[in-house]
A and B are shown apart, each in its own frame.
Chain A
C-alpha cells in the first residue's frame, strides 16, 4: 500500500464510525417520531381542547328579566334601556383630555378632579362610568365621535318600576354576594322570592380571540332567554286608589283581599319608597331611606304588628259560643268596669253599657262583656282558635320580613317571659290588647276566615299560585250570629261605625268592626283619673285606629283591613277609609 494513499484499515474505521453516528442519528429521529405520534395521535384530544380553550372566549349576555303584571295585565315592573358614557383608559393615554372635551362639548358640569381621582385607581381595561347619557347628549356625541377614542356609549338594561306604591310588594334588585351570579338579582320581596322564575337564562357569545385577547370574529351566539312573567292578584287601580286614601302625614296600611280565593287585591303601606332609586344606584337617596325614622322600607301590611284592639273580639265570642260559655242571649251588666282579684278592668265607655248581650257587645264594642266572658275562657283555647282563623302564623307569599305575630298562650309566656299566666291577662287579651300582635293582612284574613265559616283560602299574591284552604269549619249558626253583629256595627244606629252611613249614604253597604289599638299601657290610675283622653295626648302616644270591614253585605266578597298609626279611634279614621276602599273595589268589580 502506497504511503500517500489512505489505508484500507483507516477507511474501515471511518465507515464503522459512520454507522455508529448514523445509528445514533436514526435512533434520535425515532424518538422524535414517537414523540410526534404521542402528541398528535395519542394526545390529540387533549391538545385540541387546549387549542380551543386558547382561542375561544365566552362572553355572557344578560337575559331580560320577566315582567310583573297586575291582575288586569298592567305592567308593574319591566325592563328599560339607559345609556352611559364610559371610558376605557387603555384606549388612549390622554384619556383625561377626552373627559375634559366631553365635559365642554356637552356642558356636563362634571367634577373632573373627583372623576380623575377615581379613574386613576381604576382597571384600565374595564368600562368606567363617567355619567349617564340623555338622548340629546348621545346625538351630539355621535356627531363628534371622531374626537374620542377612549369614550364610548354603552347600553344598560335596567329594571323599571313605574309605580312607587308597589315597591313594598315587588321589592328591588341588588348585587349578588354569590360570585357565580353574573347579574343583579332580586334581593327584596317578590323580586327576591321569585328570582328563579323572573331571572331568565343568560346568553353566550363565543368569540375567537387572539393571544392578546382581541376579538377576531364571532363564532356563535346563544341567545339569552327572557325570564317568565309574574302575574299578581294586585289590582293596580285599587292599589293606587287605596294609597291615595292613606293620610299622607300618618303611618298606616290598608289591605284588601278577596274572600273567595284569598287574592290580595291591594296592599298599601305609608310611607312608601321608590324601588327605582336602588336600580339607579342613587346612594344618597338609598341612605336617606335606610336612615328614615318613619321606616319607608317597612311594609306595615305584613311586617307591621299591632295589638288588634276590638276587631279581635269575634274570636273570644266564637270560642264562647263553641264552648257553651255563652249563647246568643246571654246577658251581662256593664257598669263601666269589671273586677278580678281586687283589680278593675275598664270599659272604654265609663258610664257603662247597661244590659249587654253578644250582639250589643260587638255592635257597641263593650269591653266588660268580654271581660266577663274571659273570666271563663282558657287562654290556650283562645290562642288555638285564633291560629285556626289565620292569626299567629305567617303566610308564604314571598314577601320579605314576614312575621307570624302573636296570640299568646301559657306555653309562650313560660318560654319567653318565664312567668306563669294570670287570668287578668286573658281579660286584656280578649279585647285585643296585651301581648296580642297582628298585622293588617292577618286581620283581613281573620275576617275572611269568619266570612268563609272557618275554612278559608290562604292569602295569595301570585295569580298562578294554587288556592290553598286552611282552618276548620265551625257551626253556621255561630257564623250567622257573628255576621249579624258585625253588620249591626255599621248598620244600626248605636253601632260604633254607624256614622259611615251618614258620611257616604250612597256607598255600598258594609259590615265590619272598629278597633282601637293601645300604644302605651295606660296605668289604671290614669284611666281612672280621666287623664287618658285621646285628644289630650301627644300625637305620638295616640292610639292606632283600626277597622276591618267587608262588602257587599248580602254576599260578602271584599275585605278591607285598615290601620292608621296614632290615628285615634277606629270609627273616626280607619272606618271611613275602609268604606271608601270597599266601595271602590265593589264598583271596580274585580
Chain B
C-alpha cells in the first residue's frame, strides 16, 4: 500500500516549496483581510493546514497502484456522499453543500472533482485506445460527468457543478475523443443559446444581465463586482501597501475572505503583486504538466494533467470573477481563500501530483 520511506526524498521539493509560498501569501492576505489580525481567519487556516499535513504526506506515500485500484470505489463513495448531502447536508449560503463527518464539515462537491478525475484516468487507461476515441466509448464518462453535474447543480451550486462538468469534458477531450464531437457540441451550444436563454427563469436572466452590466444593480447583485473592481483598480501599479487597502479595511468588499481574496491582495500589492501570484500559479501548473509529457501511461498522464489543470483553472475562474470577466459563481481561490474543504481537496490534489511526479514507469504499471 505504501511506498518505501526513502522515496519521500525523491519527491519534487521545488513544487512543495512553491506550494508553501502560495499558501503563505494566502495567510498574509487573510491576516490583512482581518485588518492585521490573525483572527478570525489566518490562524484558523494555518491550523487546518497543519492538521491536513499528515493526510498530505499519507497520500504522497501511497502506492500509485493502490490509488489506481481504489479510483472506482472513490467515485462510488463520493457519489453516495453527494446524494447524502442532498438529504442530510446542512444549508449554508443558500445551498446544501456540506456534510458533517467526524466533527468536520465537508463540502462533498470539492472531493467529487478529484474522484471524477481519478475515475476518468482509470477508465481511459483501461480503454487502452490506439487512436481517437469514438462517441460510444466516451458515453460512460459523459454520463457520470452529467450525473455529478446534476447532483451538485441541484444543491444548488451551479458554479461548482459547471467546474465539475468542464473537468469531466476536459478529461474526455484529453483522453483523445474524436475532435468532431467537441466541435459539434460547441457549435450546437452556440446555436441553441438563444433558445436556452428563453428557458432560463427571469431571475437567472437577470443575473446574467447584471454580470454583463453591474451598474444595473449597484447595491444588490452588482455591488460585489463593482466594489471588487474598485479595490483592484485602485491598487494601481504597486498597490496601496500591506494593510493599506481601504476597500478591504472599511468593509466595502463583501466576502473578502472567500471569493474575493484576490481583490484584497491586488488592492494591497497592485499589478506587480498580481503578476507575481499569476506567475507562481502558472509555474505550479506547469511543473506536473511537463512531467506528464514525459510519462507514457494514460492513467499517469491524464491524472497529472487534469488535476494540475483543475487548480489553475479554478485560480483563473476566481480571478476572472473578481475582475468582472465571468459571473460571480462562488469558486474559491486555491490555497488563498479561507475554507477547509477547498484547502483539503487542493492539498490532496497536490499530494497526488507529487506522488505521481516521482514515479518511474515500468512497462505496465496497472492493469
* Chain A min CB distance to B269 (Å): 10
A14 to B367, CA, bound (A): 19
The answer to whether A6 and B298 touch across the interface, beta carbons within 8 angstroms, is: yes
The answer to whether A54 and B247 touch across the interface, beta carbons within 8 angstroms, is: yes
A-B contact count (CB 8 A): 141
- With A5-B363, A21-B173 known as contacts, the answer to whether A55 contacts B252 (CB < 8 A) is yes
The answer to whether A51 and B234 touch across the interface, beta carbons within 8 angstroms, is: yes
The answer to whether B130 and A14 touch across the interface, beta carbons within 8 angstroms, is: no
From A43, which residue of chain B is reached at the shortest CB distance?
B233
Surface stretch bound by A, among B109-117, B138-146, B271-279: B271-279
Tell me whether A131 is interfacial, beta carbon within 8 Å: no
The answer to whether A32 and B132 touch across the interface, beta carbons within 8 angstroms, is: no
The answer to whether A29 and B278 touch across the interface, beta carbons within 8 angstroms, is: yes
Size of B's binding interface in residues, CB under 8 A: 54
Surface stretch bound by A, among B55-63, B78-86, B315-323: B315-323
A54 to B228, CA, bound (A): 12
- With A51-B246, A54-B252, A216-B250 known as contacts, the answer to whether A13 contacts B236 (CB < 8 A) is no
Query: Chain B, 295-331, contact with A by CB distance < 8 Å: what is the 0/1 string?
Result: 0111001100100010011001001100111000000
From A24, which residue of chain B is reached at the shortest CB distance?
B170
A393 to B230, CA, bound (A): 63
The answer to whether B367 and A13 touch across the interface, beta carbons within 8 angstroms, is: no
A18 to B286, CA, bound (A): 11
The answer to whether A40 and B236 touch across the interface, beta carbons within 8 angstroms, is: yes
A14 to B170, CA, bound (A): 12
Tell me whether A474 is interfacial, beta carbon within 8 Å: no
* Chain B min CB distance to A141 (Å): 33
* Chain A min CB distance to B356 (Å): 15
Tell me whether A340 is interfacial, beta carbon within 8 Å: no
The answer to whether B251 and A21 touch across the interface, beta carbons within 8 angstroms, is: no
Question: In the complex, which of the residues B132, B174, B324 has the most CB atoms of chain A within 10 Å of its own CB atom?
Answer: B174
Residues of the B chain whose Cβ atoms lie less than 8 Å from the Cβ of A216: 250
- With A13-B131, A40-B270 known as contacts, the answer to whether A50 contacts B233 (CB < 8 A) is yes
A50 to B218, CA, bound (A): 13
Tell me whether B231 is interfacial, beta carbon within 8 Å: yes
From A44, which residue of chain B is reached at the shortest CB distance?
B236
Tell me whether A31 is interfacial, beta carbon within 8 Å: yes
The answer to whether A14 and B233 touch across the interface, beta carbons within 8 angstroms, is: no
* Chain B min CB distance to A467 (Å): 59
Question: In the complex, which of the residues A6, A54, A216 has the most CB atoms of chain B within 10 Å of its own CB atom?
Answer: A6
Surface stretch bound by B, among A175-183, A207-215, A253-261: A207-215
Tell me whether B73 is interfacial, beta carbon within 8 Å: no
Query: Chain B, 236-269, contact with A by CB distance < 8 Å: what is the 0/1 string?
Result: 1100000000110011100000000000001000
A18 to B292, CA, bound (A): 9
Tell me whether A537 is interfacial, beta carbon within 8 Å: no
A4 to B289, CA, bound (A): 24
A14 to B125, CA, bound (A): 12
* Chain B min CB distance to A585 (Å): 66
- With A40-B233, A43-B233, A44-B233 known as contacts, the answer to whether A17 contacts B250 (CB < 8 A) is no
The answer to whether A21 and B174 touch across the interface, beta carbons within 8 angstroms, is: yes
The answer to whether B174 and A17 touch across the interface, beta carbons within 8 angstroms, is: yes
The answer to whether B231 and A51 touch across the interface, beta carbons within 8 angstroms, is: yes
A11 to B293, CA, bound (A): 9
Tell me whether B222 is interfacial, beta carbon within 8 Å: no
Question: In chain A between 1 and 34, which residues have their CB closer than 8 angstroms to a CB of chain B?
Answer: 2, 4-7, 9-11, 13-15, 17-18, 20-22, 25, 28-29, 31-33
The answer to whether B176 and A14 touch across the interface, beta carbons within 8 angstroms, is: yes
From A40, which residue of chain B is reached at the shortest CB distance?
B271
A47 to B234, CA, bound (A): 5
Question: In chain B between 145 and 181, which residues have their CB closer than 8 angstroms to a CB of chain A?
Answer: 170, 173-176
A39 to B232, CA, bound (A): 7
Question: In the complex, which of the residues B170, B234, B293, B301 has the most CB atoms of chain A within 10 Å of its own CB atom?
Answer: B234
B173 interface neighbour in A17, A47, A48, Cβ under 8 Å: A17
From A47, which residue of chain B is reached at the shortest CB distance?
B233
Tell me whether B235 is interfacial, beta carbon within 8 Å: yes
A29 interface neighbour in B173, B230, B282, Cβ under 8 Å: B282
A21 to B175, CA, bound (A): 12
Residues of the B chain whose Cβ atoms lie less than 8 Å from the Cβ of A39: 229, 232-233, 323
A6 to B299, CA, bound (A): 10
A210 to B250, CA, bound (A): 4
From B300, which residue of chain A is reached at the shortest CB distance?
A6
Tell me whether B77 is interfacial, beta carbon within 8 Å: no
The answer to whether A211 and B251 touch across the interface, beta carbons within 8 angstroms, is: yes
- With A9-B131, A10-B129, A39-B323 known as contacts, the answer to whether A18 contacts B233 (CB < 8 A) is no
Residues of the B chain whose Cβ atoms lie less than 8 Å from the Cβ of A25: 285, 309, 312-313, 316
* Chain A min CB distance to B127 (Å): 10
The answer to whether B233 and A28 touch across the interface, beta carbons within 8 angstroms, is: no
Tell me whether B128 is interfacial, beta carbon within 8 Å: yes
A32 to B236, CA, bound (A): 15
* Chain A min CB distance to B17 (Å): 22
Tell me whether B364 is interfacial, beta carbon within 8 Å: yes
Residues of the A chain whose Cβ atoms lie less than 8 Å from the Cβ of B270: 40
A39 to B274, CA, bound (A): 12
Tell me whether A325 is interfacial, beta carbon within 8 Å: no
The answer to whether A40 and B316 touch across the interface, beta carbons within 8 angstroms, is: no
A40 interface neighbour in B130, B232, B301, Cβ under 8 Å: B232
Question: In chain A between 556 and 576, which residues have their CB closer than 8 angstroms to a CB of chain B?
Answer: none
Query: Chain B, 353-367, contact with A by CB distance < 8 Å: what is the 0/1 string?
Result: 000000000011001
A477 to B313, CA, bound (A): 109
The answer to whether A47 and B278 touch across the interface, beta carbons within 8 angstroms, is: no
Query: Chain A, 332-343, contact with B by CB distance < 8 Å: what is the 0/1 string?
Result: 000000000000
Residues of the A chain whose Cβ atoms lie less than 8 Å from the Cβ of B312: 25
From A13, which residue of chain B is reached at the shortest CB distance?
B176
A20 to B302, CA, bound (A): 14
The answer to whether A210 and B251 touch across the interface, beta carbons within 8 angstroms, is: yes
The answer to whether B316 and A29 touch across the interface, beta carbons within 8 angstroms, is: yes
The answer to whether B323 and A18 touch across the interface, beta carbons within 8 angstroms, is: no
The answer to whether A208 and B230 touch across the interface, beta carbons within 8 angstroms, is: no
The answer to whether B131 and A35 touch across the interface, beta carbons within 8 angstroms, is: no
B230 interface neighbour in A2, A5, A50, Cβ under 8 Å: A50
- With A11-B296, A32-B320, A40-B271 known as contacts, the answer to whether A48 contacts B236 (CB < 8 A) is yes
- With A32-B320, A40-B271 known as contacts, the answer to whether A54 contacts B246 (CB < 8 A) is yes
B278 interface neighbour in A7, A20, A33, Cβ under 8 Å: A33
Residues of the B chain whose Cβ atoms lie less than 8 Å from the Cβ of A139: none
Question: In chain B between 103 and 138, which residues have their CB closer than 8 angstroms to a CB of chain A?
Answer: 128-132
A22 interface neighbour in B129, B289, B320, Cβ under 8 Å: B289
From A15, which residue of chain B is reached at the shortest CB distance?
B293
Q: A25-B309, A47-B232 are in contact. List 8 more A-B contacts (CB 8 A).
A: A10-B176, A14-B176, A18-B305, A33-B278, A36-B232, A41-B271, A47-B234, A210-B252
21 contacts between A and B (CB under 8 A): A4-B367, A6-B296, A7-B130, A9-B131, A17-B174, A31-B320, A32-B320, A36-B266, A36-B274, A40-B236, A40-B237, A40-B266, A43-B233, A46-B233, A47-B230, A47-B232, A48-B234, A48-B236, A50-B230, A51-B246, A54-B230
The interface of chain B, by Cβ under 8 A from chain A, is 128-132, 170, 173-176, 227, 229-237, 246-247, 250-252, 266, 270-271, 274-275, 278, 282, 285, 289, 292-293, 296-298, 301-302, 305, 309, 312-313, 316, 319-320, 323-325, 363-364, 367
Return the 5 tightest CB-CB contacts between A and B, nearest first. Answer: A47-B233, A51-B234, A40-B271, A210-B250, A13-B176
